[in-house]
Structure formats: structure tokens, C-alpha cells
Structure 1
């Protein structure tokens, strides 16, 4: 089926690039501001761009339509405000002078992130990434339209605290989705009520993916942090972020739901921690639940709950919380720092240094005087006396802290780096990886920060990149047959019904997002288009679910998309 240009509002076919849709009468010009993609722009020959939904420091999120299946999607365009210059009428995005290298590297980070998420979705609790491609000198990520409404809006419509059991049931898919991200080495860094959508069935789904640069202060991008929900380590590029960063944000979201108010922003807590315990805000909460949230919202990463599964299990079980409490490190309050402390400390250090230098000079003078007095006399009287040989001290190999090699390019940054080659021996093995680019180091042994004698051996596992699989030809297969064939090859099918004018056999595959015979990454999501029965004029706007469980389907089992997913703002 050839890709067609369609109206992003009524999803009817447009024969010519007209300024007004002849079907619904909506204007297609002047809808989006200058510098963004105009409404009606076709990307990759199959996606029609609609109006802007939101803008952040990393790019623009557009409403959109998939032209073949005629279902609604969202399209994220990489367009960093601090690095990108104005684009011309050709839609080609150009970096600002002097920002070419940073623009290119952050664009690669954007593509790698969405490719990695695409490989683990559709997954429970995560907004599915359907496609990632390059065009206009930038990168686009196409995601499903999950419907529902933001948790932030849901909470506004449901004032007051939420029952803990109801909060657990609603957020469970999100916890599972974040855990799936962590298993492949991804950290979300933007978990907050604005990036969680509540579907019609009451379950939640996580959206709002972004690179580390957008969610860390001082990274070079115009950062996007969420007061009350971003972790303390996100406020400085000097702090390391990990799974415990998302754990803090999930604890903050749960705190907001069961307390009725958001936690005190982490940047403010670092100066003076005045965040009240959950049970202080809502006395009806069980003591153990208040303690769990206290563990999850600790300022120091090493002292808080470390993983998302631990947090969810503790929120759901008082018995587990008691076990967890015995293993938690005691919390230490950040010391208040007097502005004059640094100056006073510097003066004290200078005084001590001067004293040490003076003592060293006096010692050298004393030794020199002693040697000058006794050396001639010893030389005359002990010509025939053999000199005593001082005992050689035992020599020990110097020990160094092992550097952090994970994420570095082995050939470019390690193997040819003289400072490393001279100090260590490397034992390298290769391994396929869906999430780590080819040539990058996946893990190391000993771990970073451990002591190792100079010349010691460090084992490195280097990525061979994703395993590639030949796309099978499933055109004409039944839906069930195509799903089985793709799954047997290690691919993830996502099926969509398309309108059938009678040219195709009902229930059979019309086309796929990847051509037969091409190489695709193992675990890739393959969009499969299934011909509907010719008597059906309107097909469902959401994907069929042969390969993965999805929570977007309503409880009545109708297969229809949530009503909100079909709405389209026209203001």
C-alpha cells in the first residue's frame, strides 16, 4: 500500500497539498510557529505531522497520524533549543556555529535512547516507541497515543489523598515499566505526575522519555527538571545518577498521591531539609508506609532504597518493610555549611604548611652539620673497615583505584590511551548488546573504584552491537501465522488493522514496517498491517495485541481506542 498524505484532523486522504482540508474544512497553514514543522508535513513517507503538543529543551512533540493504518501517534523531533539554529523552508535543521560537535553527539544520544526503548516496548506500563528514523538532519521518534489524561490532571480532579492500595494498583504498571528500563541500563529521570497518564481502565502508563542532558542541570541543554520529583543528584553534573534516581521520583509521586501535596523540592532540601514525613501530613497513613517513603526520599543516594522493585514491594507489604529496615543504612543529615568555613580552613592549611616547611629546613641543616663534622674523621680511621650496607626496604607495587571504563569506546578511548596501557593489562571479550553501541564497554571487572596493583589485569566486555536478523517475508500470512513467524525470529510484532477495499484477503498481512530480506535488530518491534474485512468501514485506531499484553484496551474488551485518544485539539 502506497503511503498517502492525509489530513491530521479528520484522517481523510488529501489528493494535493491544499491549504485547507476539503473534507473537514480545517486550515493546514499557520498552525505551528515558525521554526517548527508545518502541519501536514509528511515524514519518512508515512507519518503526517499535526499541531505542536509541547516543547522542551531537547525538542518538539507533535501530534501526528500514521498514514497507512490511519491511527494517531505522537512524533518527537530532536531540536535542542540551545544548540540548533533556525531551519529554512526545506525543514533541514542546522546547528548553531560552534555547536556542531555537541549537536551531533547529543543527537546520537537521542537516537540511541529511543532505539533502546523501542526494543523493550510494547511493555507493560511504558508508552510504546513504534519507529525511530533520521530525516532533515535530525532524528524523529514515533510513539503510540496511549489516550487517557495526565496524572497531574487526574489528581486535580480528585482532590485529597488517595488510598495507598488504590495508588499501588494504579502505579504498578509504571513501576514494572521502570524496572524493565533499568534491566537494560536505561534511567528515565523524568518521572512525575505530568509524565504519567491515567487510562480509562484506571491503570497508569509512563511517558516523557528524554536523554540525560535534558534532565540534569548544567549539561549544556536547557534542562527540564520537576520540582518536588527530580532527585537531588540531578541538580549537578558532578553527581552520578542511577536506578536510585528513578526510585526517588517514584517515591515522590506516591507521596504526592497519598499525602495530597508534593514533597519539598530537592534543591531546597539540600540547603535545609524541611520535608515533613508522610504520616505528619496524613495521620491516617500506616507507620510502615510513612517509613518507606522516608527511605525512598533520602537525599543521599547510598542511603535510600536502591531499586524500584524493592520500593514497590515495601509499599505493598509491611512485613517486607520490616526486613528492609534492618538492612538500610542510617540516615545522616547534611551538615550546615558556614560561608566562612572555607576561608578559615584555607588559613589553617596555610599555617600548617608553613610550619612543616620550616621543620623540614631545620632538619636538613641539622643533618648536614652532623655529616660535615663526622665524615672526615670516619674516613681517616676506617679506611680498611668495610662499609655497612643498609638493609633495602621491601618494595611493594603501587596500588591505584580502577578507573570507570563502562560506556567508553574501547578502541578510541582505552586501547590506544597511553595512560591506561602503561598501568594495566586488559582481557577483552565481545558480546552482543541491544542497548550498548558497538565498540563501547558494557561492564568491567574489577569494578570502578576498587584497588588494583599497577600492571594488574582488568577484564572488559565490549559490545558487538545488536544482533542482526533477516526480516522474513510474511506478506499474505494470516495474523496468527505472521506473529508466530516473527516471534520465532526473535522479533516483536505489533499488529494494526487497515481498511480493505476488497483487494486483500481479510485477516492477512498487507505490509510490514520492515522489508523482507533486510537486516533488523533482534528484539525490534515490527509493525504488521492486517487487512480488515471489506464490510468494515472504520477500523480500530489502536494496535491489536497478539504479541504483548497492553493496558490500553478498555475493560469491556471492545478493542476500541479510549475516547481521548481520538480527540484532537483545534484551537
Structure 2
């Protein structure tokens, strides 16, 4: 097989896979990344070229990268948990430490599921888009857009002033919307902080830094990554439940930092002695209702905290809305306090009742024993003709079929000899085709012989696959409608138009027409801009590789069409 073409991750000139350096920008690839990381110039999925390592955390490595077809920059997150992974060899394959094989496999699945779920809801306002999820080298890679901009913490340092609540809320509104979209599909970010929020050139903020629950929870088995002052108190213990209110705490902490000029006292320290001052105490210019809303969002007890992002947004909007949210939160806190007071009394009552029942049972057993000894012995020589043999009742307990292959069930006479199976099928993104998704009755249900022994099973059909349509030449609106009608998610990027294309129409897509793809997949759509559109970032000069899109076509400013 001939080597594939790749792009230099520095200048984006075309090279041959395996090249040790770039003859155009004269940069060598050898030794750019540390041992254990992917070498610069590695090709992933025949489409992405890996660049230099940007950062590493307990979950994996973040690289710069290039998308070879569209010739634009991306970032690539590799799942490589340092506490579970063995040293990686020259073949780049990830291997588990002895004894960590199962945990590595399950956490790797969690990583893939997280990024595939985010891929389905991005591009969304305020969220860094997930463009692709790739399985290779015995691990998983998430390909992310390169949103540009600067981290919020650096942006705030340059301001040298506190931000007014109105400015802060306007800047973070896209992030609020994005986090609310995550919550609607059951995802919690758990890492909202100034470091993971980027301020773009247009003043809008965008949230980055996705991670699995293990990375953002202490004691999970991964090398945790918590953000002092921004991580919620429930994240400091693996036994505490986390929910939407966890992100509410972090968002409130970010707003607190913006309007006060300092971050809140870390939650671990506050749980010992809560000395965090209200925002108005730090900055008297903060309106009282904003200070109260932030205090409600930063409550240590989740039950006494604002519960959702829309509620936090409303509380920050006006004094009346803040007062209403305060009444709601305080009422929930009082209700929990009453339940807590009643719980010991109920527990004591239950204990006393149990003791009385036990004494009654022991008394009955003692009387039964005494009465049995006072009866004359029965005739041992001949049983009574009127005495009938006791009947034997067979009880079967329904096994747990969920997660099993239906072929295993069909070929097991132990199951087919006892139960009848009624089977229906559903599409599933998480279970392979033929796997049992649900069952009725539930596992452990007792079924007496002679009763209805039909088990209803729902079997996975695997992910729903759809055919990629040919949208070349469509208007942007027409392409979006066509892709969405097939269950695909369009992610539109503008490309500079030298007059070769019709403005506002599709010039290329990330997936070839006729390809079968999973429903819900994100399709990158390249839209030709007007001829007079100015590029905000000057692209590097790259030789024309002869393809439909050249380096000069791509607007490398990273501005998408949302």
C-alpha cells in the first residue's frame, strides 16, 4: 500500500505519510513530543495529522492537529489515563497496567460515549464543537474544533478591572446556553472555570475542557483534575452524587471571579470553615440581587443551591427574579431540614416495631414447641390411607438477559425449555446489534410453573445508518435541511471564495456522497463566502495540491456559521 498524503502540522503543506520533516517550513518532526505521546506527523483515521502536544491530564493528552481534507486546524484529545496505562511502545498501541484491564476498557467506553453525545449537540452556541470520534491504537480520540480566542483567565488579567454584572452575563450567555443544552441530554460538564472558557475575537465566550466523571471527581481511580475555587464540594468525594447543580456552582464561581476580581474560597476549605464573602462585600458596586443570586449558586449544600442554569440566569436578570429564586431555594432547604429531623424518629420507631415483632415470633415458636411435645406419638407403622402426598411447586427466577447476545439465549436449552420469548428490535448507539437492551419481567422475578412464562425482550439493531446525500451546490439552508431530514448534524464552516463558487453554496463536505454513516453523526459542510469577505487571520502559504479546496480557500479564523 502506498503511503497516504498528510499535511504538515505546522505550515499545512502536503507531505507523504512517514516524513521525518517538512521541506517547506524546514521543521523536523522527530523528538517534538515526549515519550509515550504520539509522534508529530502521525496519521489518524486516514484524515487527521497529529501535531505537538498541548497539555496532559489524568485522562489523556491534548494535541494540535490538522484535518487533511478541509486543510483546517483542529485539536485532538487522546484517552490515555496515566494511572491505568502501561508504558507505550513504538507501535503506539495503548496497553493497560496489570490488573487494570477491565477498568481501562470501561473508562475508555465512557470517554467515547461522552464525546459522541457532545458531537450530537454541537455545534451549539457556547460549546466547542466535537467534529469526530476515532477509535485507533487500542484507545479513543476526540477531534475538536479549534475555536481560537484566549482563555478567560488570561483575558481577565489583561483587563485590570472588574467586569460589570451586565458585561459578564452578556459574555457568558452563550456558555449558559451550551451548558443547558448538555443538561438536556443528561450530561454534566464538571470542569467549568476560566481556564476552560475561551473569549473569541467577537467577544463571545465558548466552553471547552470536556472530561469524564472520573477525571473531575476525587477518589475515582483516575488522577483527578479539580479546579480550586470553581469545583463544587460534591466533586471532592466519590460517594457524593453530582448533577446539574454541580455546573451551577461552577458557573456562579466564574461570574463571582469576573465581578469581584477574585475567585471564591475553594469548596474543600469552605466545608471546614465557610469564610467565603458575598460578592457585594468584596465589590460594593455589585447590585444586591446579583450578590444574592451568586450566594445561592455557591451554596455548599446542593439542596440549598439554585438547581438549574436557566434558574441562575433568571436570578441574575432582575431583583424580582432573584427574590423569587431565593424563596424557592429557601423553601427547599426548610423542607430538607424537616425531613432530616423526622428521620431519626422514624428510624427509632422502626427499630422498636422490629423488636416487638421478633418477640412475638419467638413466643409463638416456644408455644408451638411445647404443644408439639404434649401430643401422643403418631402411628409409625402404617400411614393413613386418607393422607395424600404433598404437592411440589416449582418456582423459576427470571435470569438477567440484559447485555447478553440473543443468539446465546436462543441456543441455550435451559432458557428455551422454560421460557417463551417475545422479541422486538430498536436502534441503539450504545449496544452492538443482537444485544438485549431491556427485558420484562425484570431479573429475579419469581414465576411459578404453570404461570405465563413469556419474557419480552428488546434487541438492539445497532446504530441507525443513513446514506450521505450529495449536497454539493446546495445553498447553506438547503444543505442543512437535507442533512437534518436524514438525521445528520451539519457543522458549517465558511471558505474563502475567489469567484470559482456560487456564494452561500456548498463546495465540499467531510463525508463523500453515498457513504453510509451513523444517524446523529456530525457532517462538516464547507460554504463558499462572498468574494469580498475578508480573512481575519492570514493563512500560511501552501502549494496547491490539486484538490478542490486549497490552502487559500480555507478561512483559518475558525469562525463557523452559528
TM-score for the superposition, normalised by structure 2: 0.73
Extract unaligned runs of 5+ from structure 2: 338-347, 375-399, 410-421, 441-445, 448-455, 532-548
Q: Answer whether contact 1:410 1:462 (CA < 8 A) is retained.
A: no
**Residue in 2 that maps onto 1:469:** 466
2-structure distance, mates of 1:461, 1:248:
39
Matches within 5 A, 1:345-424: 410-411=402-403
Gap change, CA 1:280 and 1:544, over 3 Å in 2: closer
**Residue in 1 that maps onto 2:160:** 159
Matches within 5 A, 1:81-92: 81-92=82-93
Gap change, CA 1:237 and 1:531, over 3 Å in 2: same
**Residue in 1 that maps onto 2:102:** 101
Matches within 5 A, 1:255-404: 255-328=256-329, 329=331
Q: CA deviation at 1:524?
A: 2.2
Q: Answer whether contact 1:4 1:46 (CA < 8 A) is retained.
A: no
1-structure distance, mates of 2:258, 2:431:
36
Matches within 5 A, 1:34-113: 34-113=35-114
Q: CA deviation at 1:103?
A: 0.8
**Residue in 1 that maps onto 2:519:** 522
Does residue 242 of structure 2 align to residue 241 of structure 1? Answer: yes
Q: CA deviation at 1:530?
A: 5.8
1-structure distance, mates of 2:493, 2:527:
6
SS in 1 for 2:15: coil
Q: Answer whether contact 1:192 1:250 (CA < 8 A) is retained.
A: yes
**Residue in 2 that maps onto 1:228:** 229
* Alignment deviations for residues 135-179 of structure 1 (CA, whole Å, 9 cap, x no partner): 111111111110110011111112342100000001100000000
2-structure distance, mates of 1:16, 1:435:
33
Q: CA deviation at 1:34?
A: 0.5
Q: Answer whether contact 1:69 1:497 (CA < 8 A) is retained.
A: no
Does residue 479 of structure 2 align to residue 482 of structure 1? Answer: yes
Of residues 469-478 and 485-494 in structure 1, the stretch that sits farther from structure 2 once superposed is 469-478
* Alignment deviations for residues 9-30 of structure 1 (CA, whole Å, 9 cap, x no partner): 1111124644332111222111
Q: CA deviation at 1:287?
A: 1.5
**Residue in 1 that maps onto 2:490:** 493
**Residue in 1 that maps onto 2:118:** 117
2-structure distance, mates of 1:303, 1:464:
44
Gap change, CA 1:542 and 1:200, over 3 Å in 2: closer
SS in 1 for 2:14: coil
Structure with higher RCO (Cα < 8 A, 6+ apart)? 1
**Residue in 2 that maps onto 1:565:** none
SS in 2 for 1:271: coil
Gap change, CA 1:200 and 1:434, over 3 Å in 2: farther
**Residue in 2 that maps onto 1:193:** 194
Gap change, CA 1:216 and 1:428, over 3 Å in 2: farther
**Residue in 2 that maps onto 1:25:** 26
SS in 1 for 2:7: coil
Q: Answer whether contact 1:19 1:28 (CA < 8 A) is retained.
A: yes
Q: How many residues align?
A: 475
Q: Answer whether contact 2:472 2:506 (CA < 8 A) is retained.
A: yes
1-structure distance, mates of 2:276, 2:114:
33
2-structure distance, mates of 1:217, 1:535:
47
* Alignment deviations for residues 14-52 of structure 1 (CA, whole Å, 9 cap, x no partner): 246443321112221111100101111111111111111
Q: Answer whether contact 1:77 1:139 (CA < 8 A) is retained.
A: yes
Aligned partner (choices 552, 555, 561) of residue 537 of structure 1: 552
Q: CA deviation at 1:480?
A: 5.5
Of residues 37-46 and 514-523 in structure 1, the stretch that sits farther from structure 2 once superposed is 514-523
2-structure distance, mates of 1:153, 1:428:
57
Q: CA deviation at 1:270?
A: 1.4
SS in 2 for 1:90: coil
Gap change, CA 1:242 and 1:412, over 3 Å in 2: farther
2-structure distance, mates of 1:148, 1:528:
22
Gap change, CA 1:460 and 1:483, over 3 Å in 2: same
Of residues 93-102 and 204-213 in structure 1, the stretch that sits farther from structure 2 once superposed is 93-102
Of residues 162-171 and 17-26 in structure 1, the stretch that sits farther from structure 2 once superposed is 17-26
SS in 2 for 1:102: helix
**Residue in 2 that maps onto 1:4:** 5
**Residue in 2 that maps onto 1:209:** 210
Q: CA deviation at 1:519?
A: 3.6
Aligned partner (choices 503, 510, 513) of residue 510 of structure 2: 513
Q: Answer whether contact 2:147 2:558 (CA < 8 A) is retained.
A: no
SS in 1 for 2:153: helix
**Residue in 2 that maps onto 1:344:** none
Gap change, CA 1:538 and 1:517, over 3 Å in 2: closer
2-structure distance, mates of 1:512, 1:94:
35
Q: CA deviation at 1:544?
A: 7.2
Of residues 118-127 and 489-498 in structure 1, the stretch that sits farther from structure 2 once superposed is 489-498
SS in 2 for 1:62: strand
SS in 2 for 1:48: strand
2-structure distance, mates of 1:499, 1:326:
53
Q: CA deviation at 1:484?
A: 3.6
